[in-house]
Structure 1
Amino acid sequence: MMDGQHHQNLVKKAQGLPPLRTAVVHPVDEVSLLGAIKAAEAKLIVPVLVGPEDKMRSAAAKAGVSLAPFDLVATEHSHAAAAQAVKLAVDQEVEALMKGSLHTDEFMGAIVHEEKLHTARRMSHVFIIDAPGYPRPLFVTDAALNMYPTLADKVDIVQNSIDLAHALGLSLPKVAILSAVETVSPKIKSTIDASALCKMADRRQITGGILDGPLAFDNAVSEEAARTKGIVSPVAGHADILVVPDVEAGNMLAKQLQYLGGAEVSGIVVGARVPIILTSRADKTLARLSSCAVALILARHQQEVRP
Structure 2
Amino acid sequence: MHPATPLAMIENHPYADIRLGDGATLSRTLKEDDIALFAAMSGDVNPAHVDPEYAASTQFHGIIAHGMWGGALISTVLGTEFPGPGTIYLSQNLRFLHPVHVGDTLDVQVTVTGKDDRTHQVTLDCRCTDQDGVEVITGSAVVVAPTEKICRPRTAPMQVRLWDKTLRYRQLLALVDKLPPISVAVVHPCSEDALRGALDAAALGLITPILVGPEAKIRAIAASAGIDLAGQRIVNTAHSHAAAAQAVAMARAGEVQALMKGSLHTDELMAEVVSAATGLRTERHISHVYVLAVPSYAKLLFISDAAINIEPDLDAKRDIVRNAIDLAHAIGIAEPKVAILAAVETVNPGMRSTIDAAALCKMAGRGQITGGILDGPLAFDNAISMQAAHDKGIVSPVAGQADILIAPDLEAGNMIAKQLQYLADAQAAGLVLGARVPIILTSRADGTQARIASCALAVLMVKARA
> TM-score by structure 2 length?
0.64
Gaps of 5+ in 2: 1-162
- Counterpart residue identity of residue 141, structure 1: S
- Counterpart residue identity of residue 149, structure 1: P
- Counterpart residue identity of residue 198, structure 2: A
Matches within 5 A, 1:26-45: 26-45=188-207
Counterpart position of 1:212: 375
Shift of 1:179: 0.4
Contact 1:7 1:287 in 2 (8 A): no
Question: In the aligned structure 2, how far is the partner of 1:180 from the partner of 1:16?
Answer: 43
Matching residue within 280, 284, 307 for 1:144: 307
Does 2:432 match 1:269? Answer: yes
Query: SS of 1:97's equivalent?
Result: strand
Shift of 1:261: 0.6
Does 2:215 match 1:53? Answer: yes
Question: In the aligned structure 1, how far is the partner of 2:225 from the partner of 2:198?
Answer: 12
Question: In the aligned structure 1, how far is the partner of 2:285 from the partner of 2:168?
Answer: 27
Question: In the aligned structure 2, how far is the partner of 1:285 from the partner of 1:25?
Answer: 16
Shift of 1:54: 0.7
Deviation per CA, 1:97-141: give whole Å up to 9, x if none: 000010000011111115552211111100001000211100000
- Counterpart residue identity of residue 280, structure 2: L
Shift of 1:15: 2.2
- Counterpart residue identity of residue 75, structure 1: T
Query: SS of 2:338's equivalent?
Result: strand
Matching residue within 261, 270, 273 for 1:108: 270
Matching residue within 43, 65, 79 for 2:241: 79
Of Structure 1 and Structure 2, which has the larger fraction of its residues in strand? 2
Deviation per CA, 1:229-271: give whole Å up to 9, x if none: 0000000001000000000000000000000010001100011
Q: Which has the larger radius of gyration?
A: 2
Deviation per CA, 1:282-301: give whole Å up to 9, x if none: 11222111100000011011
Does 2:259 match 1:89? Answer: no
What RMSD in Å do the two structures reach over aligned CA positions? 0.9
- Counterpart residue identity of residue 229, structure 2: L
- Counterpart residue identity of residue 267, structure 2: D
- Counterpart residue identity of residue 236, structure 2: A
Counterpart position of 2:325: 162
Shift of 1:64: 0.2
- Counterpart residue identity of residue 209, structure 1: G
Of Structure 1 and Structure 2, which has the larger fraction of its residues in helix? 1
Question: In the aligned structure 2, how far is the partner of 1:121 from the partner of 1:299?
Answer: 17
Distance 1:166 1:286, change over 3 A: same
Gaps of 5+ in 1: none
Counterpart position of 2:154: none
Counterpart position of 1:21: 183
Contact 1:127 1:143 in 2 (8 A): yes
- Counterpart residue identity of residue 450, structure 2: A
Q: Which structure is higher in RCO with an 8 Å CA cutoff and minimum separation 6?
A: 1
Matches within 5 A, 1:215-234: 215-234=378-397
Q: How many residues align?
A: 303
Question: In the aligned structure 2, how far is the partner of 1:253 from the partner of 1:193?
Answer: 19
Shift of 1:4: 3.4
- After the TM superposition, which segments of 4 or more aligned residues of structure 1 sit over 2 Å from their partners? none
Question: In the aligned structure 1, how far is the partner of 2:249 from the partner of 2:177?
Answer: 28
Contact 2:272 2:279 in 1 (8 A): no
Counterpart position of 1:130: 293
Shift of 1:28: 1.1
Contact 1:8 1:286 in 2 (8 A): no
Counterpart position of 2:417: 254
Counterpart position of 1:240: 403
Distance 1:151 1:258, change over 3 A: same
Contact 2:249 2:278 in 1 (8 A): no
Counterpart position of 1:173: 336
Question: In the aligned structure 1, how far is the partner of 2:316 from the partner of 2:411?
Answer: 16
Identity %: 59
Shift of 1:8: 2.2
Question: In the aligned structure 1, how far is the partner of 2:241 from the partner of 2:222?
Answer: 21
Counterpart position of 2:284: 121
Query: SS of 2:405's equivalent?
Result: strand
Counterpart position of 2:169: 7
Query: SS of 2:274's equivalent?
Result: helix
Counterpart position of 1:297: 460
Question: In the aligned structure 2, how far is the partner of 1:41 from the partner of 1:233?
Answer: 44
Contact 1:268 1:275 in 2 (8 A): yes
Deviation per CA, 1:160-192: give whole Å up to 9, x if none: 111111111000000000000001001111000
Contact 1:95 1:274 in 2 (8 A): yes
Question: In the aligned structure 2, how far is the partner of 1:105 from the partner of 1:44?
Answer: 26
> TM-score by structure 1 length?
0.97
